[in-house]
Structure 1
Amino acid sequence: MSLDKIFKDPAKVCAYFLAIIGFFFLGKGLIASKGVLAPVVVALILAMLSVPVARKLESWNFPRIWSTVTVLLLNLIVIIGVSALISFQVRNFLDESDDLKKEFYPTLVSIEEFVLKHTPIDRGSMESYKEDFGIEEDNGEDSEEKPDGEEVKENQKGAIEVLGATFGFIADFILMFVYLFLILLYRRKFFKFALLLFPDDKRERYRKPILKSTKLVQYYLGGRLTLMVLLVGLYATGLWISGVENFILASLIGAVLSIIPFIGNMGAYVIALILGVGSGGETDMIIGITITFLIVQFLDTYVFQPIIFSNKLNINPFFVILSVLIGNAIWGIIGMVIAIPVFAIITVFCRNIPELQAFGYLFGNEEKTMKKAGSEK
């Protein structure tokens, strides 16, 4: 339908206007319900990834309950193992933080002198900026000494906030696994419920996108995990050769941040530079870090991703970035991690529902979407 016909029909204009308002309040609702919905969505995506393992166990005559428990334990072992490895590396880094500060301080002084010499910023403005960002030098003298009572209250308040955040995280973590267990155990019931939402004559029509979206999430997450393992090995090798002391920590950070397209890669490179310079790295180390990231990113973009994904996601890169930014605005880091699989599911439904095929064309890669549409006709 052309735009002229739409604007000539007041009912259509009102419908589109109400749809825009509905999306706005949907976003507000998602932001407000993060604490409730985020564990459910994460559990749902983990369940999609774990279904093939559960089916394999059930093909070996495992009862449904025991296959579900086994898959749950496998997920728990993997998550705890990765978390323990990262926390161990972070703890070692924090133990060396005082030495890193001493190594990094001359570099900061050189940067400061360069800025003062080659920019209009004067010493007073520089000190003001440092104070605003909380990086002013510590002279060993407290300009404002607080009474012991106030200091104790502040420490107690900080301890309570930390305990609250810790218990909140543990509660969400436990809830996520409870949801994962129930989704895997009753997955057939949830699938039949999704089909029952549609009329009898249209159930087979919507059965295909539901199954396809599940396989797509499995395909994406499995491929992403494989890529992360490859990236850890490549980053660790290159950074070790470059002489970075905390090369394992930098490699893990680089692999984890690769989940976030484009932005994560730049962030990982900056963190690796900071770790390298902070450990006393010279120009050779900086060049080695830069070459490592350039080579790994080239291999990741032009070799590994085409082989692993084979372009089956078929999502426009513009909307990949946009979905990650929207996910961050709604649910923060969790939203950034789950943004691409959720958007891939939305794209699959848009391509398979006639009323939304225009959006399916917009969200997908133009050439492949056009070929698919032509073949369906």
Structure 2
Amino acid sequence: MNITVPFYIKAPIIMLGLVITVFILFILRDVLVPLAFATFIAILLNPVCNRFERKLPKAVSIALAMFLAILLLIILLYFLSTQVAHFFDDVETIHAKLTELQHDIQNWVEERFGMSTIKQNQMVKEAANNSRAVIGQTLNGLLGILSVVFLIPVYTFLILFYKPLILNFFYDVFSDEHKQKVAEILTQTKSAIQSYIVGLLIETTIVAIMNSAALLLLGVPNAILIGVIGAILNLLPYIGGIIAIALPVLMATISMDGFSTQLLVVGAYAIIQFIDNNILVPRIVSSKVEINALISIVIVLMGASLWGISGMFLSIPFISVLKIIFDRIDGLQPWGKLLGDTVPTEHLGQLKRFRRKK
């Protein structure tokens, strides 16, 4: 006997479930964030482990794959550290230019709005005092990230080691009639995450090279460091690109006279963003799941509110996995369409009215 639950009863239950889920995700963020990163890394390293397992024991294969990944990360960090050291060589010049720029801005504000320099300094001090709590939260978040970094390798190793146990759990939870659908979801989720992460790494490398080359040609100091940071920030959809452009513009402002270089930087980054959005992302990232721009922005902001910077990076892969699941469950397919990037050519309501008239 099938009982139809009225919408006014179903809707509050769904909302309550969402509230409880978000609350649990927020409370357990210190456990779930490293676990989520470890899961994505384990999926990425899985093909490498499988290749090593043909000749080596399982534990040795996992350890070797993780060693190669950590070695690549160390090389990248060493490269960035050399660029940071070069940045500190010019810190005195940058400080002097910032001081001069501050005086120019204060004089302009005083002439334009009649606000004295003393009043401006007082307002800046008040803003600094009010932002101490935010700075403290940011530092706590950075310390949390450092502690998470030590957990991620442990979680990654264990996920790869117990992979058959985890997969069998998903198959055993569902009945035999749904096992084929579960297999499709797991296979496509693994493939989508692998292609997404590998594509992002390649895209980030190319964007870093283009950013650095453009800034070097324009004579912006610390061009390589700013170019690499801009490419990493570009991983954050829409929001990161804005910050990435602001960094070289600020560096050009405090290190060069005039505004021609800043305009050239904006123009160069606009061209790079066009190449990235229209050539690199469609052809290199090649994610099997396309999420529309509206959902991308909303989910990134929600991820930032829930899990901070980590949530911003994890939000897009997470929503991609949800879309894969939604597309294969009959009752959730409309939600999958809402998340997708395919825009229908006809309005369903208008189509129904047209059919009634006929």
TM-score range, shorter chain: 0.7 to 0.9
1:312 matched to which residue of 2?
Answer: 288
Greater mean deviation of Cα atoms: 296-305 or 73-82: 73-82
More moved, 297-306 vs 170-179? 170-179
Which amino acid in the other structure matches residue 98 of structure 2? Answer: F
1:165–1:299 distance in 2 versus 1, CA, 3 Å: closer
Partner of 2:259: 283
1:280-359 correspondence to structure 2 within 5 Å: 280-310=256-286, 312-359=288-335
Q: Contact between 1:238 and 1:288, CA under 8 Å: does it hold in 2?
A: no
C-alpha deviations, 1:184-216, integer Å up to 9, x for none? 122122111112111111111121011101110
Structure 1 unaligned segments of length 5 or more: list them.
Answer: 1-8, 136-160, 371-377
Stretch deviating more after TM superposition (168-177 or 239-248): 168-177
Matched, 1:273 2:249: yes
Could you say which residue in structure 2 is the equivalent of 1:111?
Answer: 105
Instruction: Kindly provide the amino acid, as one letter, of the partner of residue 230 in structure 2.
Output: G
Task: Look up the match of 1:211.
Answer: 187
Cα distance in 2 for partners of 1:345, 1:170 equals 27
Listed as ranges, the matches of 1:60-71 within 5 Å are 61-71=55-65
1:261 aligned counterpart, secondary structure: coil
**Equivalent residue pairs, number:** 336
For the pair 1:18 / 2:9, whether they are aligned, the reply is no
Distance 2:17 2:139 in 1: 37
TM score, norm. by length of structure 2? 0.86
Change beyond 3 A, Cα 1:340–1:368: farther
Q: Distance in 1 between matches of 2:274 and 2:142?
A: 39
Equivalent AA in structure 1 for residue 43 of structure 2: M
Percent identity between the aligned chains?
24
Q: Residue type of the partner of 1:58? A: E
> Which residue pairs with 1:188 in the alignment?
164
Residue 167 and residue 356 in structure 1: after superposition, are their counterparts in 2 closer, same or farther (change >3 A)?
Answer: closer
Counterpart of 2:232? 256
Contact 2:34-2:152 at 8 Å conserved across structures: yes
Residues 256 and 369 from structure 1, CA distance in 2 versus in 1: closer, same or farther, beyond 3 angstroms?
A: farther
User: Could you tell me which residue of structure 2 aligns to residue 176 of structure 1?
Assistant: 152
Counterpart of 2:353 in structure 1 is none
Does the 8 A contact of 2:230 with 2:244 survive in 1? yes
The CA deviation string for residues 159-207 of structure 1, in whole angstroms up to 9 with x for no partner, is xx99998875554222210110011122122111112111111111121
Separation in 1, partners of 2:144, 2:5 = 49
Instruction: Output the CA distance in 1 between the equivalents of 2:56 and 2:294.
Output: 44
Equivalent pair of 2:97/2:255 in contact (CA under 8 Å): yes
Q: Deviations over 1:118-150 (max 9, x none)?
A: 346454542332222349xxxxxxxxxxxxxxx
- 1:27 CA displacement: 1.3
Q: Give 1:24's aligned amino acid.
A: V
1:316/1:364 contact within 8 Å kept? yes
